[in-house]
Structure 1
């Protein structure tokens, strides 16, 4: 079985492993001891995760639609139906392109983003000089006060539209695992932010002289000779922004799987340098279908903007809360600075959120609907796994019971690898297996596989072995990095495990037993657990475990699906857990 990245003392000795400080703040100790606090933070994280995935479906739809709609200003014969069809074609190509990996996609699109930001900066500067240079006075924050003093309640309602001006820039850095801190700071400070300021200021200057062009401001403000080149660049830039959120969805699902909060899907690492660069076909095609449905359903209307705004602001609010927790627990920042950060950002984002509340019925419900699907999946999976773990821990075999079971069993020649995700103790399915089979192989090795957050684990650090009981019973912890091939095929794997076991053998007789078992043949035993709630539980618990969890368990990839095990040497043992 494949285990999440549980920390062990031996991890500090791995040459590729990053060592971290062992200091703990009072807040960290509180979170570790308070189950209610951990549950609250987990729920907030899950909500933010699901909202970000919803953002990953909305961003491509609104970005591509907004870029493509520019062609309508060229001819009255081009209808909204043409825009939707062209947008769907672009979106399909974008999602199909994702399989090539974030690194290759980013390398291909980086020049496009430089051209895009350079172009909007130059066009913005041109419009400022041509139409109204005084528009640069808007950089002064005191105009915020004048805006609300003049517009009052209408100004507050307009915040729901203004929020779209601050979305999109964050898409470039949606998955921070793909960039380092210095790169983000340098790119945003010297390229992204100045270009956006000039671009928006230029459009404002253009609108001062041409207020009737409000609905087509961007393309109308582009000088006629460069319209088509700018149309191409803006469409490509929309694709880049979309790709960033899609990649972020892959990474956040991978992290949820590692924490045991999401059923296992295919995760393909596309870079041997960056752990965060992954691709998931299942997530990719789910987002593609949802994105196409949104594009066809809303057809570029204002509802898609409302949905996008609600999703982005909610993600920002949740991010601010979690960053505050990180500042207190991990960074151990001065509490005054933490409070100042929290109040300022929650105040700004909260005001934007309140202006979007009346937009929920006008399209703002979409991110909640997408999030609800993933929340149901994550909560059902997390609850089912927790019940399964509680059952196994409460009914795991004692050392004495296991020794008696081994002593009574008939021993057959050969080597048996019994795969389990229980790192400490012997799972109850072993009792079920021995009672029905009535025999054990000469050498039995309980195998647990761990995937570590490192690029590769050296061969001499791959196996951690120990004796589990008398008469040739051992435990083996197999450790892989995210770029290692998780294979148990061929003779190399079995011979490597036997070589590791020889190091802890007591005498030559035990060594000979190991070699004899290897020569006699190898079998892999996999356990398949089915949960069933008994009558004392509520109907809701029955529905979650007996229906939702079992459906996910059956239709998603199993824990051993990522391992390459010889198909002709597998014996699967099933057991019904009535809990």
Structure 2
């Protein structure tokens, strides 16, 4: 009864555990998908800095800052710590929030239909500690803290989507800008137009999925990863062999003492050296932890260290050429091959963030945090490979607009820096909570982690905020819009659940309804969809009063999205008898990384088979003839015809409704009327669908 590919995600990782050769091969593949934004960062780090009359000591200090940032954040924080905080193979801020919600009762979204105590019994949940920690108890008691935690998780998701807008723009623009080196006559507007054209073509190809071209990703990124450090080594020996003396923290201290406030502001540019580290954690669901660690430690990290060392060595001997810090340090004979590789690498980096954005939107829709948009699985073998047409074209418009409006790579870099460091800072906060509440790390070590990285990332946060008016406002504008959409949708869904729980139909009330002489039981099988499990939706009473009938076999169906990555196949469809003839309850459970793509008859067949199995398994509670009659009634109803009934509700706002509710519920109604219906997303034929309208009082 599994609606998704059971061999994807976590199962694959378990199968590969311990196989070093397979991990090595998988590590090679990760080069093309996981580290896109990170490995292309040498294209735009130095050009994004606003350096004025730099000296040798400045470059040594900047390289020392970049080296220790890569080491502390990239290696220590992400590779050694964060990659261990997976939620059944899934990573990212959403997975951290999921872990916290499952180990403490801090979820505040009743629309998800989550029963915390019941969820603890699911087999694919992590081991729950018997006694909640003091911090966990405090979070459970404080609604303000729980809402703040939800806001932080939402902000992390919004910022990651912003990353999907800025990474393609800055990566492709920086790569194509290499044309202006050999051809000074090429104008800036020409570079922008060509970059925009490349991105438009890339977005138009998204509907075909990445599988058709993904075999090219790894060779492209491997070529980039292995050629840039070679050029770096060449530049080190030619221009400044003593560059690695700057690894001493002395040069960082000297840099800030010499430059003061200006040196602090330059952190807004150096932070770009660690772009893509969060994607390394967020893409954990596509690869196993060991493969990502191997790829980073043995390939990406040394490549970046040597590439930045080579760039810095060149700039020390050519102090004022930092505006094109990458292409200027490339030797003339290999300039054009490197231009081609850089452009292709930028395209792959863009693809990796676009795909990650699709995944984030899909997870948000599945968890009911975001209005429903179309999500298409472009691969039958890879569950994580999804495509959303609406998301794709909005991203395309925004990416092209960023290039055309903020054509200066420095302004895009300022906006990019805000996204990069805020997502990392959010990860630090959530990971600290995971360490204390779930891992039970001693407070001394958890505090050391939190304060160390809070100080480091806090310094970067304060620096990027100085660039707010110089492009840094863009990700905030995007995040505010996305957060408003998410909160408006959440608020409307919460209000609906609140009304339904207050006015729900109990089984006793349903029995009274069905006992009335004017109510008939008509032939056929009916799937009646509801958002609540403890009781029945009030739309049912509205339906029976007006239709004066109910199908002989009626299955009240609830889709239950759990705060877990994936639900085991044998726990996917839960059937229960409701004590009335021909009336059953069905709960279909999904995690945020599961594929919600049952289709029409296949969906009906799986539920009917589950119901038949449930009836036969509980035959000891009934006489054999009764079981046979019940199964016969089910098969007869299925053969007569199937109808899927869902409510189409709207809020009625009167004079007594507060202005706050009028605004938010009006916004929700706008979103709801323009989003996709839940049933077509399941592939249910049009002729089998029925919608029952009802007004809810706000």
TM norm. shorter chain > 0.5: yes
Contact 1:463 1:500 in 2 (8 A): no
Which residue number corresponds to residue 662 of structure 2?
Answer: 542
> How do 1:416-427 and structure 2 match up within 5 A?
416-427=526-537
- What is the correspondence of 1:378-389 to structure 2 with a 5 Å cutoff? 378-389=486-497
Alpha-carbon shift at residue 295 of structure 1 (Å): 0.5
User: Structure 1's 31 and 169: CA in aligned 2 closer, same or farther, altered over 3 A?
Assistant: closer
Which of 573, 583, 600 is equivalent to 1:488? 600
- 1:177 offset after TM fit, Å? 2.1
Superposition pairs for residues 283-362 of structure 1, below 5 Å? 283-362=391-470
Aligned 8 A contact 1:380 1:549 in 2 = yes
1:552 aligns with 2:671: yes
Question: Which ranges of structure 2 fall in alignment gaps of 5 or more residues?
Answer: 4-110
Partners of 2:212 and 2:451 lie apart in 1 by 40
User: What do you get for the CA RMSD once the two structures are aligned?
Assistant: 2.8
Is the CA contact 2:280–2:292 (under 8 Å) kept in the aligned structure 1?
no
Please say if residues 65 and 300 of structure 1, whose CA atoms lie closer than 8 Å, have aligned partners that are also in contact. Answer: no
Q: 1:393 aligns with which of 490, 495, 501?
A: 501
Give the direction of change, closer, same or farther, for the CA distance of 1:193–1:112 in structure 2 (3 Å limit): same
Note the C-alpha offset of 1:391: 0.7
1:499 aligns with 2:612: yes
Q: Deviations over 1:328-359 (max 9, x none)?
A: 22222221111111111111111122122221
Of the structure 1 ranges 365-374 and 323-332, higher mean CA displacement relative to structure 2 is found in: 323-332
SS of the residue corresponding to residue 574 of structure 1 reads strand
1:429 aligns with 2:544: no
Looking at structure 2, the residues matched to 208 and 106 of structure 1 have their Cα atoms a distance apart, in angstroms, of 39
Label 1:215 to 1:454 Cα distance change in 2 as closer, same or farther (>3 A). closer
User: Taking structure 1 as the reference length, what is the TM-score of the superposition?
Assistant: 0.91
1:292 CA displacement: 0.5
> Does 2:644 align with 1:531?
no
TM-score with structure 2 setting the length? 0.77
Partner of 1:32: 140
**Relative to structure 1, is the Cα distance of residues 479 and 336 closer, same or farther in structure 2, using a 3 angstrom cutoff?**
closer
Distance 1:549 1:359 in 2: 34
Contact 1:57-1:287 at 8 Å conserved across structures: yes
Paired residues for 1:96-111 under 5 Å: 96-101=204-209, 106-111=214-219
Note if 1:366 corresponds to 2:477: no
2:332 alignment partner in structure 1:
224
- Residues of 2 paired with 1:301 and 1:519: CA distance? 63
- 1:571 counterpart residue number: 690
How many residues of Structure 1 are paired with residues of Structure 2 in the alignment?
A: 574
Q: Which residue of 1 aligns with 2:230?
A: 122
- Partner residue of 1:522 out of 625, 642, 650: 642
* Larger relative contact order, structure 1 or 2 (CA cutoff 8 Å, min sep 6): 2
Provide closer, same or farther for how the CA distance between residues 539 and 461 of structure 1 changes in structure 2, counting only shifts above 3 A: closer
SS in 2 for 1:211: coil
Consecutive unaligned residues in structure 1, runs of 5 or more: none
Q: CA deviation at 1:495?
A: 5.1
Q: Does residue 443 of structure 1 match 2:553?
A: yes
In 1, are the aligned partners of 2:575 and 2:611 still within 8 Å (CA)?
no
Does structure 1 residue 413 correspond to structure 2 residue 519?
A: no
Determine the C-alpha separation between the residues in 1 that align with 2:156 and 2:532. 30
Question: Of the candidates 464, 476, 487, which is equivalent to residue 586 of structure 2?
Answer: 476
> Where in structure 2 are the equivalents of 1:156-175 lying within 5 Å?
156-168=264-276, 171=279, 174-175=282-283
Deviates more, 1:372-381 or 1:402-411: 402-411
Q: Which residue of 2 aligns with 1:81?
A: 189
1:49-105 deviation digits (Å, cap 9, x = unpaired): 111111110111011111111110111221111101110111122223333445665
